Chain A
Amino acid sequence: MKNEWWKWLLAIFSAIYVAGAVLVALAIIDNQKLTSEWKKVYQVQPEPKGRISPEAQNAALKKKIQNYQPKGVYIMIDSAENKYYLKEGNKILKEGLVSTGSGEILVDPNGKRSWIFDTPKGEFFVKSKIQNPYWVKPDWAFIEEGEPVPKRMEDRVEGGVLGDYALGFGNGYFLHGTLYTRLLGRNVTHGCVRFADKDLEAVFKVSRIGTKIYIF
């Protein structure tokens, strides 16, 4: 009798194994039921007769969506890859590298203000077109450098850093040139989009006030 302990152990393990197998089998059956539910969810009942045909409805919906798409030239900026595309319809007219927001955070040590240097995402449009732009340095530019924020506007103006052209798209954000051409293709800016000189010139020339900008 003493030597038969293993038989009991074997029996217990077998029972557990069989129970497990049964459980798995039941789970399979249950899972199959779920699969059939999936099929039901994606079954669409046709509209009652006499109403608009599915083909016509399809064409109408596609046209409605198409109406929201930009007419003429538009600018697309991929902030992940730091690339821009100048497009018209589905055709790419020009593409190249840009620099977009660094995503860094700056906290004002003397106050409660803080800034996140992200390039805004979504749909925008060109609100202003400027040749030979000057940079009016905002407060964060001085705080970042550890300098006191000037009270006079003249002390904020800096020339030659934004390139030959700038396209404003709201809230102080611009598409502009850069001195740091080596950093094109990287996320280094305070939220603006930096272009290479030639690319910026091409974009500036074809853009009008109202030209759509899509940033993602």
Chain B
Amino acid sequence: MKQVTASDKKRNLEKRGFSLFFSGCLILCLIGSLVQPALAGIEADHVSNRVIAGGQQKKAEVKKELRAASPASPNEVGSELLIENKFLEKELSLAKNQKYYFVINLKDKKIELRVRGMLLKSWIASQIRCSGQPWALSVISLNQKSALNPPERKMIRPGEGDTAGLVEQDPNIDDKANGNKSKKENTSPDSQLGGSSESFQLEALEITDMPGNYELIFDNGLQVSVRAGAGKGPKLSRLKENLSWYIFLPVKNFLMKNKTIKPRMILYFDLIRDAQGIYWAFIDGIQGIIWLP
């Protein structure tokens, strides 16, 4: 029979202490992972016509199925119509002027560029997240675009020619100098439409020079972050952003309870071209509406 000494007892206690601590940690982690999505602030669900908390997406899917089975109640339809009317009133005020404007539809995750009520261009976001103080359905205007590497306009050095000057070096293309030559004579395949224009290194500012990740700051304090792309880099930054969104932002909002929490929105795009297109189209001062049908 082995005798249990005082030091053995102490060692056993230590072991128990450790195991208790680690099991406690594990339980907290589990609880954390369960409730984390609820911290997501608000996410616009593709299906639901309600703004829902991030973690309730599965519930929303169930709701959708239920809704599909039973027709919408008259009250619900009436409410949707009233919201649409309010949106149309705002759109009418924008359609009156010559400038184009944007409409962000949180339900369909659609960003539209419109003029006179006509659709010019649209982009579909893969995900939209909203957080902070909600903003009312109103016309907002873009105050500032902010990016880590904003596109820079190139300067033309007088005498050295511009973009067209670069082309002059190509014998297949007519230019100002030999402009007297009839363009109809130019039958070389390179000069035809759809030639390899992409291969030219231009000094111009093009859509591909636009950033894929940037912030849009609106006059109502709303900050819209646009994120795009796939691959290793963006995935890592996405993880960082998820941590910030699910943990740090709610805690920060909670700690700043007495101050006004600025509204925030993140638009995620699968294609960088979409994010670049929005940067291009959203000129300073552009007005628009963000709404939830």
Given A32-B53, A96-B193, A180-B173: A102 in contact with B17 (beta carbons within 8 A) = no
The answer to whether B95 touches A17, judged by C-beta atoms less than 8 angstroms apart, is no
CB distance from A139 to the nearest CB of B (A): 11
The complex places the Cα of A27 from the Cα of B249 at a distance, in Å, of 9
Min Cβ gap B14→A in Å is 8
Chain B residues contacting A181 (CB-CB under 8 Å) are 173, 183, 186, 191-193, 195
Contact of B247 among A24, A57, A66 (CB under 8 A): A24
Contact mask A124-160 → B, CB, 8 Å, 1/0? 0000000000000000000111100000000000101
CB of A30 within 8 A of CB of B164, answer no
From B41, B117, B162, A144 is in contact (CB under 8 Å) with B162
- A121 adjacent to B100 (CB under 8 Å): yes
CB of A80 within 8 Å of the partner chain = yes
Q: Are B38 and A28 in contact (CB under 8 A)?
A: yes
Among A10, A62, A144, A161, which residue has its beta carbon within 8 angstroms of that of B17? A10
Complex alpha-carbon distance, A71 and B144, angstroms: 35
Task: Give bound CA distance, A39 to B79, whole Å.
Answer: 12
In angstroms, how far is the closest chain A Cβ from the Cβ of B12? 14
A68-115 residues at the B interface, CB under 8 angstroms: 68-70, 76, 78-81, 96-97, 102-109
Give Cα distance in the complex from A64 to B95, angstroms: 9
A-B contact count (CB 8 A): 261
Interface-lining segment among B64-72, B129-137, B213-221: B129-137
Q: Give chain A residues whose Cβ lies under 8 Å from the Cβ of B21.
A: 10, 14
Residues of A within 8 A of B203 (CB): 102, 104
Q: Are B180 and A160 in contact (CB under 8 A)?
A: yes
Picked from B42, B155, B173, B254, the residue with its CB within 8 Å of the CB of A182 is: B173
Nearest CB on B from A117, distance (A): 8
Residue A48 is within 8 A (CB to CB) of chain B in the complex: no
Instruction: Check B47 for interface membership: any CB of A closer than 8 A.
Output: no
B164 CB, min distance to chain A CBs, angstroms: 6
Asked if A180 and B167 make an inter-chain contact with CB atoms under 8 angstroms apart, the answer reads: yes
- Interface SS of B by simple majority: mixed
User: B250 and A30: CB pair below 8 A?
Assistant: yes
Considering only CB atoms, which chain A residue lies closest to B130 in the complex? A38
Select one of B89, B133, B173, B197 contacting A185, CB under 8 A: B197
- In chain B between 41 and 59, which residues have their CB closer than 8 angstroms to a CB of chain A? 41-42, 50-53
Binary A-proximity of B252-285 (CB < 8 A = 1, otherwise 0)? 0110010001000000000000001100110100
Chain A residue numbers with a CB within 8 Å of B92 are: 61, 64-65
B174 touching A38, Cβ below 8 Å: no
| Chain B residues whose C-beta falls within 8 Å of the C-beta of A196 in the assembled complex | 193
**A21 interface contact, C-beta 8 A:** yes
Say if the beta carbon of A1 comes within 8 Å of chain B: no
B1 within 8 A of A: no
In the assembled complex, which residues on chain B have CB atoms less than 8 Å from the CB atom of A42? 51, 83, 134, 137, 292
Q: Decide: A54 and B82 in contact? CB cutoff 8 A.
A: yes
Q: Is A201 an interface residue (CB 8 A)?
A: no
A34 touches B41 (CB 8 A): yes
The residues in B between 96 and 139 inclusive whose CB is less than 8 angstroms from any CB of A are 96, 98-100, 113, 115-118, 120-121, 130-137
Interface residue ranges of A10-69 to B (CB < 8 Å):
10, 14, 17, 21, 23-28, 30-32, 34-35, 37-46, 54-55, 57-58, 61-62, 64-66, 68-69
Interchain CB contact under 8 A, B253 and A31: yes
Q: How far is A105 from B131 in the complex, measured between Cα atoms in Å?
A: 40
A: which residues have CB within 8 A of B?
A: 7, 10, 14, 17, 21, 23-28, 30-32, 34-35, 37-46, 54-55, 57-58, 61-62, 64-66, 68-70, 76, 78-81, 96-97, 102-109, 116-117, 121-123, 143-146, 158, 160-161, 163, 177, 179-188, 190, 196-197, 214, 216
Other than the known A35-B53, A180-B174, what 5 A-B pairs have Cβ atoms closer than 8 Å?
A: A35-B51, A78-B120, A102-B154, A122-B100, A182-B170
